Amino acid sequence: MIAAIHDRCQTDPRQVFVTGLSAGGAMTAVMLATYPELFAGGGIIAGLPYGTAKNVPQALERMRGHAMPTSSELAELVRSASPFSGPWPTVSVWHGASDATVDPANALAVVDQWRQLHNVDEAPSRTERVGDHMRRIWINNAGCQVVEEYLVTGMGHGTPLSTHSSDSVEVAGPHMLEAGISSTRRLAHFWGLDRAISNAPSHAAPTQELSGARVRSSARFDKPVVQTSGRIASTIEGALRAAGLLR
Full 3-state SS string of 118-185: CCCCCCCCEEEEECCEEEEEEECCCCCEEEEEEEECCCCCCEEECCCCCCCCCCCECCEEECCCCHHH
* 71: annotated active-site residue: no
Residue 1 lies in a domain: no
- For the entire predicted model, the pTM comes to 0.80
Residue 90 lies in a domain: yes
As for how many domains the chain has, the answer is 1
Structural domain span for residue 210: 18-242
Residue 58 lies in a domain: yes
Residue 234 lies in a domain: yes
Residue 194 lies in a domain: yes
Tens of each residue's pLDDT in the chain, 247 residues: 999 999 999 999 999 999 999 999 999 999 999 999 999 999 999 999 999 999 999 999 999 999 999 999 999 999 999 999 889 999 999 999 999 999 999 999 999 999 999 999 999 999 999 999 999 999 999 999 999 999 999 999 999 999 887 777 889 989 999 999 999 999 999 999 887 445 444 444 555 655 543 332 222 223 333 344 456 666 666 666 665 556 6
Nearest to 91 by CA among 77, 105, 76, 109: 109
Of 22, 162, 182, 229, the active-site residue reads 22
Residue 4 lies in a domain: no
Residue 2 lies in a domain: no
Residue 44 lies in a domain: yes
